[in-house]
Amino acid sequence: MTKNMKIIIINGPNLNLLGVRQPDVYGDRTFEDYLAELKTTFPHVDIDYYQSNVEGEIINKMHEVGFSYDGIVLNAGGYSHTSVAIHDAIASITTPVVEVHISNIYAREEYRRHSLLSDACKGVICGMGLDGYRMAVESFVQ
């Protein structure tokens, strides 16, 4: 029997507030609610989830999974625009990373229009709402 593909979704700072604040920008669903649906969409994929508001914890998690998992879906939140350390973590591991942003960062404030992470990633999905996470998982399954 073949083993299920293992993928982890890592969400960064403030994404624990999804569905609670700013529904106009980020929608009105909690991530836990969305994740339950996502798991039913990919019954043969083991999808883990980790969220932290702390940069070093995100890096530690990437080191922990980044040599054994088949894919990492990463929304590093505001750290996407600032973190050399998360860029270096992506570049240091062997598991491919797909960067996701719920909102279209290119249609927002100037300081959000550049990600320090993208060049180290396999791909980037942004502006597709929560569905971007499904697209990222799909990109690993194909």
- Residues at the interface with ligand CA2 (CB under 6 A): 14-15, 17-18, 21-22, 26, 75, 77-78, 80, 101-103, 105, 112
26 is catalytic: yes
Q: Quick one: 24 or 43, whose CB is closer to ligand CA2? A: 24
Which residue in 26, 34, 69, 79 is the catalytic one? 26
The one-letter code for the residue type at 128 is M
Quote the CA–CA distance of 93 and 91 in Å, as a whole number. 6
Tokens 């700072």 appear where? 13
Angle (CA) 4 42 135, round 5°: 115
The SS3 call for residue 131 is helix
Residue among 79, 82, 119, 64 nearest 97 (CA): 119
Q: Quick one: 20 or 36, whose CB is closer to ligand CA2? A: 20
Q: Quick one: 15 or 97, whose CB is closer to ligand CA2? A: 15
Which residue in 34, 69, 101, 133 is the catalytic one? 101
106 is catalytic: no
The residues that are catalytic are 26, 101
